[in-house]
A and B are shown apart, each in its own frame.
Chain A
Amino acid sequence: MDYFAQQLINGLVLGSIYGLIAIGYTMVYGIVGMINFAHGDIFMIGGFIALITFLILVSFGLTAIPLILLIVLLVSMAITALYGWTVERIAYRPLRHSFRLAPMLSAIGMSFVLTNYSQVAQGARVKPVPPIITGGYTLHEGAEGFNVQLSNIQIIVVLTTVVLLALFTWLVSSTRLGRDMRACEQDQTMASLLGVDVDRTISMTFVIGAALAAVAGMMYLLYYGLVDFFMGFVAGIKAFTAAVLGGIGSLPGAMLGGLLIGLIETLWSAYFSVEYKDVAAFSILIVVLIFLPTGLLGRPEVEKV
């Protein structure tokens, strides 16, 4: 039981990270109707920028951990958001009204560009950082010496996710930008007739998605203590799986899907085999799409001629 509770905590933390990435996928899919293949790599870039900012701040002699984390978070969000904007501007906007395969391939190309760009720029080796946030609480002392632990970093990851989600929900539901986004999602032509700047709204969608991915990248760095140039690919597919599982286009769905994927992956590694955890996650994707093609919270798609 203690073991299970511990895995539950670990799964929820991992799921929060996936959920943050999945929101980026689901938003872009909702508005532009394409899989932003490069989104996983945006997450990776976010991790790298967080790492570099952190190193620079520490070498400048800053010691207050909360201040460092705040600066790292802001810098990483800002620069990664600019990456998201640039990717959209270069690779997707010229193909907006092209036929459907073109932006997909362009996105795959962009994903290769970002992966190899960080390999060339920062080297192929894994970058480890010493644990930045230590300490935690023991929730329950087990009989056989197995304690249920809740570390501070886990609390921070979950709290950050919750705060960001609340902020983001507010943004989508009650601001001008959010209204524009929802309008573009329903009908871009009509939205532009009613004075919504569609190009700008789509750009902002990419910017917000990238900023959330940057937070996920930073949380990943804090939680696992390492980044490498290839981590975006697998994380990206899993987050996309999460978005599909929750019902693509639905924001609460993305978060729910992320949590579920995180839990499934953690529990599978804990009780079956670590080697096949990715296989489990991908199989879930296939099974979900067979039985629930619109995901858990998605709306059914109307078939039109």
Chain B
Amino acid sequence: MSANPAAQTSRAPSAAFILKKSLISALVALVLFSLMIGVRTEAGPDGQLTYWTRFGDLAVMVAAVFGGSILIELFRQWWGPVDTARVVPAPVQNALAFGGRLVAPVLLVFTFLVPVLFYNERYILDLAILVLTYVMLGWGLNVVVGLAGLLDLGYVAFYAVGAYSYALLATNFGLSFWICLPLAGILAAFWGVLLGFPVLRLRGDYLAIVTLAFGEIIRLVLINWQSLTGGPNGVTGIPRPTLFGIPLTPADDGLAAMLGIEFSPTHRIVFLFYIILALALLTNWVTIRLRRLPIGRAWEALREDEVACRALGINTTTTKLTAFATGAMFGGLAGAFFATRQGFISPESFTFHESALVLAIVVLGGMGSQLGVALAALAMIGGFELFRGLDQYRMLVFGMAMVLLMIWRPRGLIGHRAPTVFLQRKEAISSDLVKEGHG
């Protein structure tokens, strides 16, 4: 590479080159934004469309693109070509490896202590519950996408099935959360198998689009089957979980009265926090155990190469179906938890956006890395919360972040997809040597 003179010159572009490139970018931006940002339309009170111009905003945007592309070019020049191998000194590497081993236990201990540390900060507790819900969803989807390599864009369907199962069973038949939780899991797993059957023969992008369609079908049915699901109004008055039958309410038979302490609504939040933590850890534990069973090995083999998998006599049908069912079950459990935490659910909570968010978490987490998924969930949901004040710009930023993260780290933040089993001795396999199992 370095012997190539063309590569040498292109590595150090002149100021004129940068300026030219940025000018082109600015010009493209001017055309792109000219009508969409330069002109604003709105329907007037009489339904007649009117428009007004916003050339100031347009100028600001074009200037931002111009400045931005100069900065990007300068950064590129400083950083060098993308594929340069960056040698990290050995002591730093060792320290990183040591730190890497510590991350998981430290994170776990910290998570256990969150309700203690932030007992009085309702907002942080709520956020922690939300993050844990997504960690659980991420770990659940990880079974399907990360381990079995089946691209599922309709994961939210199982989340919805779980949530509606609990909500309907609890409001119609008065069943308690602890009975409904496994039921929701089983029902979701059943739906997972139901989806799994028709898509067994599909792979890759076809699978993605069918699962996406499935997710949309479930949502549309939830909206339109008004007599059962309440349509767009959703289900209200979903009961809260109890601790062995003791409700966490200020009533006389509530937990606070029984223990003789003063009631506080925070008790329930903390209780919910530990429920979702337990559920998430259960997901993690089951996944780790399953990976060491023949079925887990079969999933990983399926991900790496389906044809080879079949040649080895692995039953791909059951392998795929179990992956779908297991992932769906965890989605269903998370859904039941979501319903009981919110006390109200409607189809609006189960849009494609949720599926994309969970999938983004799994892919960013490095497809198969449990710790990576947890960190990605923390980063995504935390980052999402940081932009809460931006309101309508939030989704815009989310989309941009998704694109930029994919360009920056296509294999995720922890892009290390090592198989669980190795031949003879342990050796790390670089992630770019491992290819998708599309066979």
Residues of A within 8 A of B (CB): 29, 34-35, 45, 48-49, 51-53, 55-56, 59, 75, 79, 82-83, 86, 90-91, 94-95, 98-106, 108-130, 233, 237, 240-241, 244, 275-276, 278-279, 282-283, 285-286, 289-290, 293, 303-305
How far in angstroms is the closest Cβ of chain A from B33? 8
Residues of B within 8 A of A (CB): 28, 31-32, 34-37, 39-43, 47-49, 51, 151, 198-199, 201-202, 204-206, 208-210, 212-214, 216-217, 220-221, 223-224, 305, 307-308, 352-353, 356, 359-360, 363, 367, 392-393, 395-396, 398-403, 406-407, 410-411, 435-436, 438-439
Query: Do residues A91 and B49 form an inter-chain contact, with CB atoms below 8 A?
Result: no
A82-B31, A82-B32, A120-B392 given; A105·B406 CB < 8 A:
yes
Instruction: Report the separation of the CA atoms of residues A173 and B399 in the bound assembly, to the nearest whole angstrom.
Output: 37
Query: Do residues B39 and A102 form an inter-chain contact, with CB atoms below 8 A?
Result: no
Query: Do residues A109 and B406 form an inter-chain contact, with CB atoms below 8 A?
Result: yes
A35-B209, A244-B209, A285-B210 given; A109·B400 CB < 8 A:
yes
How far in angstroms is the closest Cβ of chain A from B311? 8
Instruction: Report the separation of the CA atoms of residues A91 and B392 in the bound assembly, to the nearest whole angstrom.
Output: 22
Choose among B32, B363, B439 the residue that contacts A83 (Cβ–Cβ < 8 A). B32
Query: Do residues A79 and B435 form an inter-chain contact, with CB atoms below 8 A?
Result: no
Query: Do residues A79 and B41 form an inter-chain contact, with CB atoms below 8 A?
Result: no
Choose among B206, B214, B305, B396 the residue that contacts A305 (Cβ–Cβ < 8 A). B305
Interface residues of A: mostly helix, strand, loop or mixed? Answer: helix
Instruction: Report the separation of the CA atoms of residues A28 and B392 in the bound assembly, to the nearest whole angstrom.
Output: 31
A95-B407, A105-B406 given; A289·B435 CB < 8 A:
no
Instruction: Report the separation of the CA atoms of residues A113 and B398 in the bound assembly, to the nearest whole angstrom.
Output: 8
Query: Which residue of chain A has its CB nearest to the CB of B211?
Result: A286
Query: Do residues A79 and B31 form an inter-chain contact, with CB atoms below 8 A?
Result: yes
Chain B residues, CB < 8 A from A233: 352
Query: Do residues B31 and A56 form an inter-chain contact, with CB atoms below 8 A?
Result: no
Q: List 11 A-B contacts (CB under 8 A).
A: A48-B35, A55-B49, A101-B363, A101-B367, A106-B407, A108-B359, A110-B403, A121-B37, A123-B40, A128-B43, A305-B439
Instruction: Report the separation of the CA atoms of residues A51 and B39 in the bound assembly, to the nearest whole angstrom.
Output: 11
How far in angstroms is the closest Cβ of chain B from A214? 12
Chain A residues, CB < 8 A from B216: 237, 278, 282
Query: Do residues B213 and A125 form an inter-chain contact, with CB atoms below 8 A?
Result: no
Known: A106-B403, A116-B392. 10 other contacts (CB 8 A): A55-B41, A99-B436, A104-B208, A109-B406, A112-B395, A125-B42, A290-B198, A303-B307, A304-B307, A305-B308
How far in angstroms is the closest Cβ of chain B from A61? 15
A112-B398, A128-B49, A237-B216 given; A101·B40 CB < 8 A:
no
Query: Do residues B40 and A49 form an inter-chain contact, with CB atoms below 8 A?
Result: no
Chain B residues, CB < 8 A from A129: 49
Query: Do residues B399 and A110 form an inter-chain contact, with CB atoms below 8 A?
Result: yes
How far in angstroms is the closest Cβ of chain A from B356? 5
Instruction: Report the separation of the CA atoms of residues A49 and B51 in the bound assembly, to the nearest whole angstrom.
Output: 13
Top 3 A-B pairs, shortest CB-CB distance: A109-B402, A112-B399, A113-B399
Query: Do residues B206 and A52 form an inter-chain contact, with CB atoms below 8 A?
Result: no
How far in angstroms is the closest Cβ of chain A from B226? 9
Query: Do residues A51 and B41 form an inter-chain contact, with CB atoms below 8 A?
Result: yes
Chain A residues, CB < 8 A from B402: 105-106, 108-109, 112
Chain B residues, CB < 8 A from A83: 32
Query: Do residues A286 and B198 form an inter-chain contact, with CB atoms below 8 A?
Result: yes
Chain A residues, CB < 8 A from B308: 305
Query: Do residues B202 and A289 form an inter-chain contact, with CB atoms below 8 A?
Result: yes
Name, among A48, A113, A130, A293, the residue most crowded by chain B CB atoms within 10 Å (CB to CB). Answer: A113
